[in-house]
Chain A
């Protein structure tokens, strides 16, 4: 039986060369078992900022502003959240709203120094009051992000809040009408109440 072994076959047999290759790989075979090296890296992008930016773009797309504001660029002003500003610039600044080019404006202080169609702020208390006051009765869609209050901040048209870990928004329709804004049906239908 022993003579049936392949050992006596000539070494230049191509099968042997293959076997040498197998043996080398077999020797190294278990080397791959070293744990899951190079695992996935946490994507630490600000997901809340992405979500809010997406909503702000929807607000721009799906609402209507008075005729006199349909000249020049369509402006979204951001106050208090630089990441949100950067994301809007990166993702949407080359887009148009109707025939207007979209422009993202950064406000360092709690004051609207130039007209913006949408003004988003994460300010609270006096700062927020000051900012809202600076918009007067202009057709500015003031969007806030105050989750803890019992009701929407006075003067805001939209307010982001969290419901079941999801970002949603509430709407003050009276304030929108007062400012001459026409809220789109889609925006209206997705608004939540407390």
Chain B
């Protein structure tokens, strides 16, 4: 830690004590039964970890006499944050109870932040609120990471919701931060997670077709969203094209001795449609990076599958040149 940083730290501590002194002075003159006194009692409960008692004391006043009191909202948010931590420790951070507690904590802390910013002494408790919100934002990001790593079918919305909550908090704490790049990466990671599940589906499972369709739709929609967010993302386009193409090939691979003539024709129609759909994102990826060998190989392969042999040859030659 540098000398200047150390000085800033000491200064901040000093300011925190000054803020505390101001807050305590309000408490000191509080009359029994007054709002300020109730808040003080709630603080004591919260300090002891008696979050239920703190909330029972403070929450009925949040819509009435304490509705414009930043301290009251902070204590309530703090207590819900405490209940979230307890619940997350006992169960999981994404359990129903923990999620509900965390959501309420964020709402109440944000309200405290807003009130404090507009108060006569702005900043008195903002630092405490910022710390609490920063902590909660990290728990949301943790849940995003855990959600992607331990992904199971249908978790997409939950993971995205956690990311959006993370961004919502970060936008309050640091409005200048931009999280679009991370959202693009999240969409691509979700596409990948769905694709891995799709590839692992047991072929003997009777409900496989429906599951495969649902997972494949998710793969495509996540890549499309990534492209929508970032018009210059090469990987999303390339991977979208590969997924579309491979899906067509897997349809073809499903043909066996039990396939009827009608089914064969139908499968071929589906395949060609998927190959044609794969062409546009692959061409777009190629236009972004003309020398990339995987796109040249991709175009050679897709055109060949569409029986457009001249085009296929063209990209084969370009690929051979690139290899040299």
Contacts and interface: CB of A to CB of B under 8 A. Distances in A.
Nearest to B185: A33
Given A15-B86, A32-B149, A50-B253, A4 B138 contact: no
Contacts, number: 157
B259 A54 contact: yes
Between A8, A43, A45, A55, the greatest number of chain B beta carbons within 10 A of the residue's beta carbon is seen for A43
A162 interface: yes
B249 A47 contact: yes
B242 interface: yes
A47 B252 CA distance: 7
A54 B271 CA distance: 14
Interface in A164-181: 164-167
Interface residues of B, number: 77
A6 interface: yes
Interface string A32-58: 111110111111111110110011011
B242 A42 contact: yes
B264 A54 contact: yes
Contacts of A41: 242
B220 interface: no
Nearest to B243: A40
A32 B246 contact: no
A95 B256 CA distance: 10
Interface majority SS (helix, strand, loop, mixed), chain A: helix
Interface majority SS (helix, strand, loop, mixed), chain B: helix
Given A1-B74, A2-B16, A3-B43, A35 B185 contact: yes
A186 interface: yes
Contact of A48 (B89, B264, B307): B307
A22 interface: yes
A186 B276 CA distance: 28
Interface of A: 1-6, 8-9, 14-15, 18-19, 22-23, 25-26, 28-30, 32-36, 38-48, 50-51, 54-55, 57-58, 62, 91-92, 95, 147, 162, 164-167, 186-187, 190
